[in-house]
Structure 1
Amino acid sequence: MDASLLSDVDYNQTYADEHFYFADSIDGFGITMAILYLVVCILGLAGNILVIVATLKLDKMSSSTTVYIFNLALADGLFMVGLPFIASQNFQNHWVFGDMACKVVMVLDGINQFTSVFCLTVMSIDRYMALADPLRFARWRTPRCAKIVSAFLWLFSLLTILPMALHFSADQGLCIPDLVSDTWWLGVLSYTFVMGFALPFMVMIGSYTALLLTLRSQRLRATTPNQESQRLEQQVTKMVVAVVVVFGMCWLPFYTFNFCSLYQSGLVQNFARAFEFVVLLSYSWSCANPILYACLSDTFRKHFRTLLCSAAKSSPSMQCNTERYDLNDTTVRDVTLLA
């Protein structure tokens, strides 16, 4: 759904007439953006495939957290699949894949976008249950329960996005929405903003705030200073700040530009170019998740190192640290996995 949400009252005609950049030739900006789209796509696919392989081969989805991480990586990876289609349209100022492909790409794009956000939201609740009161919430944190919740998230994403995605068509040479009215478009933007950003963001902030307050309260109630508790609190605080800040930076500009487009009297080249950049920024969120795992999770660093070392064994020129890790250490996993 990302790259096609820019609009104003006369969106269809203006967009089709001006082709976003008013240019018949490809300029330096178009080439630069095409390269950036390609880089984001490759990094996003590679990083999320690595996470998927790590959860399936090494962790075997043995906890609720890794079930959610697997589904998050799957949604992020599939989210990257639609990026070449969007980049092609922006680069050529024309949709060459047909009307049916337009609808399919937008449906899949929307499903994966919303599933990614919903998974991250559920993971924030899962982290709270795991660290605040693990015994109390143990029955809700089984892999089986997490798989049921994940299946529901995929279905809910489909139901959430399907009515809007089916309004996209390529009848005018571009894969853009068929607008009923400016009021209808404002409703669509408000709906996607609330469901895809505002509500999940509030749940994440609420869950993480409650988690940090609980950890601090537990540490202060302890009769003797506990360095491990303090270390855990600091690590979770860094994780919370990183997740919330990166999520906001990647998605808030996208929704802000969508609402600003309602007040554009016509498509302006600078605005259109800036919007294309924030679209790329929203896709970059799917690249950020594997990087956050690698930077903030001891367990995933070990998983990645194990996989990369296995691949490097075939190259005599590469040396690899073959130190073995206890991948079944659920205590370490629950403490350090990104949520």
Structure 2
Amino acid sequence: MAATLLAGIILFVISAVGVIGNISVLCVLLCQKSSWSISITYVFNLAVADALLMLVTPFWGHLFISNGNWFSGQIMCKLAYSISAVNMLCSIMFVVAMSVDRLVAVVRLMNLDRFRTRKVTNVVCGLIWLIGLGFFIHFMLDVSCYLSIFIHVKRHAFGQNTAQDKVVKPSTAIIITFFVGWFPANILNFYSGLATYFHVLSFSKECFDNLYPYSLCLAWATSSINPILYAFVRSDFRSNLAANLEKFKRTNHMVLKETTSPQLE
């Protein structure tokens, strides 16, 4: 009970941070839509998937806090589950798509750079919204892409630490976050499957029930961290965010001044 209560509270915090972060990303990117690059298209779709997932996360937080008692009816249960499952998979797959895109852009792999067009990017994003893959396939694709990027940069940077850091450090952060966030939940699912369906291992329900809520918190937390990793670390994004906030403040100030100033008869 204590484990699920704490996990439920954590999910509410994750949801609040994730909704604010991802909606901020979407608003800023929409304001600069005319200057979108190929990678920004993936960032935008990732933020959409993460925002939708974060919006339904409080339902699961309440489920944990209430010790498994659902409160919104069967239809809402199915809807929340479907939104969570679809956007969880889409979020992971957009990370993979971005990894492959970075690989092609940096390494110029097999002259595939000619496929980095808006049309191809939109097709890839559309396919991601329609299909899903397993965790380990995603993770191995991510690792392979960024390992190739790391090796390429090491070979061609020739001591240019600034250029190397711009590629290697964000790439390392992406892989670590993805692995740390999703690995525990998938390991526990794998363990549960081996123990309950194939009877290969002895199954400890108490251990599983205590650990699994926290593993889900870690997995969902990646959707809150993604805006920081993919957007807020970019200097151009920070500049655009600051400019939009300043514009919003000026607009509010003007509106407030107009509503509070004396009306002329």
Give the TM-score taking structure 1 as reference length.
0.66
Tell me the SS of whatever aligns to 1:201.
helix
Aligned: 1:108 with 2:83: yes
Q: How does 1:26-41 map to 2 (within 5 A)?
A: 31-41=5-15
Tell me the SS of whatever aligns to 1:94.
coil
Partners in 2 of 1:295 and 1:98 — Cα distance? 38
CA contact (8 A) 2:22 2:227 kept: yes
Partners in 2 of 1:66 and 1:243 — Cα distance? 16
Tell me the SS of whatever aligns to 2:26.
helix
Q: Which residue of 2 aligns with 1:73?
A: 47
Aligned: 1:253 with 2:184: yes
Aligned partner of 2:85: which letter?
G
Aligned: 1:153 with 2:91: no
Cα 1:199–1:291 shift into 2, 3 Å: same
CA contact (8 A) 1:67 1:146 kept: yes
CA contact (8 A) 1:61 1:67 kept: no
Aligned partner of 1:281: which letter?
L
- Residue 80 of structure 1 and its aligned partner are, at CA, apart by 1.0
Q: Which residue of 1 aligns with 2:145?
A: 207
- Residue 131 of structure 1 and its aligned partner are, at CA, apart by 1.9
Aligned: 1:310 with 2:261: no
- Residue 309 of structure 1 and its aligned partner are, at CA, apart by 2.6
- Residue 53 of structure 1 and its aligned partner are, at CA, apart by 1.3
Q: Which residue of 2 aligns with 1:274?
A: 211
1:139 to 114, 126, 129: 114
Q: How does 1:118-137 map to 2 (within 5 A)?
A: 118-133=93-108, 136-137=111-112
Partners in 1 of 2:35 and 2:182 — Cα distance? 28
Tell me the SS of whatever aligns to 2:70.
coil
- Residue 276 of structure 1 and its aligned partner are, at CA, apart by 1.0
- Deviation by residue 1:286-308 (Cα, 9 ceiling, x = unmatched): 00111113553222222322223
Partners in 1 of 2:243 and 2:7 — Cα distance? 34
CA contact (8 A) 1:76 1:286 kept: yes
Q: Which residue of 2 aligns with 1:241?
A: 172
Q: Which residue of 2 aligns with 1:298?
A: 235
Tell me the SS of whatever aligns to 1:313.
helix
Partners in 1 of 2:168 and 2:242 — Cα distance? 25
Identity over aligned pairs, percent: 26
Q: Which moved further from structure 2: 258-267 or 98-107?
A: 258-267
Consecutive unaligned residues in structure 2, runs of 5 or more = 196-200, 254-265
Cα 1:70–1:294 shift into 2, 3 Å: closer
CA contact (8 A) 2:8 2:63 kept: no
Aligned: 1:284 with 2:258: no
Q: Which structure: greater helix fraction? A: 2
Cα 1:303–1:279 shift into 2, 3 Å: same
Aligned partner of 1:213: which letter?
I
1:231 to 162, 178, 182: 162
Aligned partner of 2:237: which letter?
F
CA contact (8 A) 2:28 2:244 kept: yes
Consecutive unaligned residues in structure 1, runs of 5 or more = 1-20, 22-26, 158-194, 317-339
Provide the alpha-carbon RMSD of the alignment: 2.4
Cα 1:115–1:60 shift into 2, 3 Å: farther
- Deviation by residue 1:33-56 (Cα, 9 ceiling, x = unmatched): 333221110110110111111221
Q: How many residues align?
A: 245
CA contact (8 A) 1:41 1:83 kept: yes
Tell me the SS of whatever aligns to 1:82.
helix
Give the TM-score taking structure 2 as reference length.
0.83
Cα 1:249–1:266 shift into 2, 3 Å: closer
